[in-house]
Copies of this chain bind each other. A is one copy, B any other.
């Protein structure tokens, strides 16, 4: 069932989709940041919420009910918190859509609709078959029917172009990622800044790429919030990575960069505009830059891992000890 058929099927069952809950943990939660951002930016009559799995279960939203759609993501398909979230959602009468990479896993069996990702979309896109773009497409299909959303064609066109965008962007940062890796090899602490649709990437680069994969102290800071406290730690010795967006949020990132130019010294700017996302229609490009940022930052983290001789897969706790 493709995203359009899925939405048609959902709307045949439900009179109204009043709200959408995006629920996952860690790296999978990051996948849902752009579609949540899309809903906030585009949906007039359907609210969207982003929850870490266990928080969703413990602090169950009062508005979760029969008019709700709950999207769950678990790469392994085994995340217990996501499974609990599925149970709660179904108890409340919501429709559940799951995204997993592994078929036959508990999460893959827990939804009303269960999507396996990681192959290719109908249109042949490789990166389009990721939770972030599959769920973005799904939301765009939903709003097209329920609210006359006007840019679905541009979304679909963006999905056909994302492979090219990502390929070019990754190539473009190859050299500077090496320089960055060498400069950061011995850094104790790393701040990651960004805003708008890229804030999920800011979070993900800090908690997954740095903390989890490099055992690197890191913190994620919203570019606008930077000026309301966090900038007081800035000096010539503090390290920053800034994801500079291309859309309306860009001014917040620019302001932070302007400040870092004056009072910092060790900062890396990763600029969406420069990386060529603009072959995607400007009305929707904001929803695609996060995946580009993610893949580009994979190039950066790989260089750090290589220099430190600390492979990205190395864990001391995750999947190794009981917790």
A residues apposed to B, CB below 8 Å: 19, 25-27, 29, 37, 40-45, 47, 49, 52-55, 58-63, 65, 81, 188-189, 195-197, 206-208, 211-213, 215-222, 224-225, 227-234, 238, 248-249, 251-252, 255, 258-259, 263, 315-318, 321, 323
Chain B residue numbers with a CB within 8 Å of A212 are: 228-230, 232
CB of A246, distance to nearest CB on chain B (Å): 12
- Of B42, B43, B215, which is within 8 A of A232 by CB? B215
- A61 B40 Cβ-Cβ under 8 A: yes
Residue of B nearest to A46 (CB): B63
Which of B19, B222, B258 is within 8 Å of A55, CB to CB?
B222
Q: Decide if B58 touches A248 in the complex (CB within 8 Å).
A: yes
Residue of B nearest to A47 (CB): B47
Interface pair A47/B63, CB less than 8 Å apart: yes
Q: Is the CB of B81 within 8 A of A63?
A: no
Copies in the complex: 2
Q: Which residues of B contact A55 (CB under 8 A)?
A: 195-196, 222, 224, 249, 252
Q: A251-B58, A323-B227, A323-B231 are in contact. Are A219 and B222 (CB under 8 A)?
A: no
Contact residues in B for A59 (Cβ distance below 8 Å):
37, 40-41, 196-197, 248-249
Q: Is the CB of A211 within 8 A of B233?
A: yes
Chain B hits for A43, CB < 8 A: 62-63
**Given contact pairs A212-B228, A217-B219, A231-B318, a sample of 11 additional A-B residue pairs in the complex whose CB atoms are under 8 Å apart:** A41-B62, A42-B62, A44-B62, A47-B47, A58-B248, A59-B197, A208-B229, A211-B229, A231-B317, A232-B318, A259-B317
Contact of A52 among B44, B81, B213, B225 (CB under 8 A): B225
CA distance A217 to B258 in the complex (A): 21
- Contact between A315 and B232 (Cβ–Cβ < 8 Å)? yes
Residues of chain B contacted by A321 (CB below 8 angstroms): 263
Residue of B62, B215, B228 near A40 (CB, 8 A) is B62
Q: Which of B41, B54, B216, B230 contacts A211 (CB 8 A)?
A: B230
In contact, B232 and A317 (Cβ under 8 angstroms):
yes
Contacts of A238 in B (CB 8 A): 217
Q: Return chain B residues, CB-CB under 8 Å to A29.
A: 225, 228
Chain B neighbourhood of A27, CB < 8 A: 228-229
5 sampled A-B residue pairs with Cβ under 8 A: A26-B225, A207-B221, A211-B229, A232-B315, A232-B317
Closest Cβ–Cβ distance, residue A36 to chain B (whole Å): 11
- If A44-B63, A230-B212 touch, whether A189 touches B217 (CB-CB below 8 Å) is yes
Determine whether the beta carbon of A26 is less than 8 Å from that of B228: yes
A249 and B323 contact, CB distance less than 8 A: no
A-B residue pairs, 7 tightest by C-beta? A26-B228, A219-B219, A212-B229, A47-B47, A54-B224, A207-B229, A25-B228
Q: Which residues of B contact A47 (CB under 8 A)?
A: 19, 47, 63
